[in-house]
Amino acid sequence: METSATNTATDNPKRKYCRLLEPVRDHEGRIRFTEAVEIIKEIDNLDRHMYLVRFEDGSTTFVFPHEVEVLSLPPLRKAA
């Protein structure tokens, strides 16, 4: 089994962000929709490219490239 990973938070000073294009389920079982999230790692495993993403509340999940749109700029934060 061949696996390679790139940690964008430490390997790249410019963090990557993406926007969900379809509903995905996080590790806690919640369904997420059109949120903008931080890409923590890019992973190639068994000829599949995936991203490990982190939501604003700290939850994480893996997504495939067709499920997200990589953003050229960080998302705007909602005012409290």
User: Residue 51: enclosing H or E segment and its boundaries?
Assistant: strand 48-54
Range of the domain at 15: 3-63
Q: Model-level pTM?
A: 0.72
How high is the pLDDT of residue 28?
84
Position 71 in a domain? no
Res 6 pLDDT > 70: no
Q: How many domains does the chain have?
A: 1
Position 29 in a domain? yes
Say which residue, 27 or 61, is predicted with more confidence. 61
41 neighbors 51 (Cβ within 8 angstroms)? yes
Position 15 in a domain? yes
Position 77 in a domain? no
Alpha-carbon distance values, 53 to 1, 17, 59, 79, 80 (Å): 22, 8, 8, 22, 23
35 neighbors 80 (Cβ within 8 angstroms)? no
Strand partners, 60: 54
Instruction: Identify the band that residue 3 occupies on the pLDDT scale cut at 50, 70 and 90.
Output: low
Position 76 in a domain? no
What are 33-80's pLDDT values in tens digits?
878 889 999 999 888 999 999 988 888 999 999 999 998 777 766 555
